[in-house]
């Protein structure tokens, strides 16, 4: 796959088409699982591939092409979802209908409390657990890729993720209840 990436960087259209055909279904399935919006997912995939092609000469080296594309796509999808959410929330609070000072204060405090609780939960993890959680869920790496990067055994990585999730799970129910009732 490294050769494919190098060919794309040099402007090889056939290599770019191969990249598109090889990973389109993976990106689509991943994006649909996250958002459930077929059109949004398709739009984001197109944007990712267009950006890669437009910036091909400036792309850095990529060792794990699938992971790179999933991470790139996930960021694009989340940005687009946030933008759409922001646009739809402007309909919920039309211009001219400002929130009262008390409503703004409550909303801000709820957001700060939620962030504090999330940081508190993450602080319960060891540095190694934080590292594998970040790679697994934020970077979209597989257990094999994480094991290779951290020079660990696959089973060790799996156990670290499992233990970290067990710790975080203790806080998730509290956060979910908090978020449902107080953070709107």
Q: What is the pLDDT along the chain (184 residues), one digit of tens a residue?
A: 668 788 888 888 888 888 888 888 888 888 888 777 788 888 888 888 888 888 877 777 877 888 888 888 888 888 888 777 766 555 444 444 455 545 555 555 555 666 666 677 778 888 898 888 888 877 778 888 888 888 899 999 999 988 888 887 776 555 555 555 544 4
Rounded to the nearest 5°, which phi and psi values hold at 61? Answer: -70, 145
Contacts of 98 (CB under 8 A, 6+ apart): none
CB atoms near residue 44 (< 10 Å): 26
C-alpha angle 178-82-58 in degrees, rounded to nearest 5: 130
C-alpha dist (Å) from residue 25 to 2, 8, 32, 35, 66: 20, 19, 10, 15, 12
Q: Look up residue 148 and give its two tokens.
A: 């290779």
Inter-axis angle of helices 65-92 and 13-35, nearest 10 = 50
């Amino acid at each position: 796959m490294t050769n494919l990436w190098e060919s794309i960087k040099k402007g090889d259209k056939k290599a770019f088409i191969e990249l598109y055909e090889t990973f389109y279904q993976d990106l689509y399935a991943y994006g649909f699982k996250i958002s459930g919006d077929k059109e949004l997912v398709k739009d984001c995939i197109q944007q990712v591939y267009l950006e890669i092609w437009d910036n091909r000469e400036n792309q850095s080296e990529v060792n794990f092409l699938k992971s790179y594309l999933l991470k790139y796509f996930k960021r694009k999808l989340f940005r687009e979802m946030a933008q759409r959410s922001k646009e739809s929330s402007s309909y919920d609070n039309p211009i001219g209908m400002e929130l009262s000072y008390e409503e703004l204060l409550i909303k801000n405090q709820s957001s700060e409390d939620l962030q504090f609780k999330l940081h508190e939960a993450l602080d319960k993890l060891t540095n190694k657990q934080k590292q594998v959680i970040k790679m697994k869920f934020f970077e979209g790496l597989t257990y094999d890729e994480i094991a290779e990067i951290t020079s660990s055994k696959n089973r060790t990585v799996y156990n670290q993720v499992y233990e970290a999730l067990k710790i975080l799970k203790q806080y998730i129910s509290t956060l979910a209840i908090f978020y449902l009732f107080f953070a709107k």
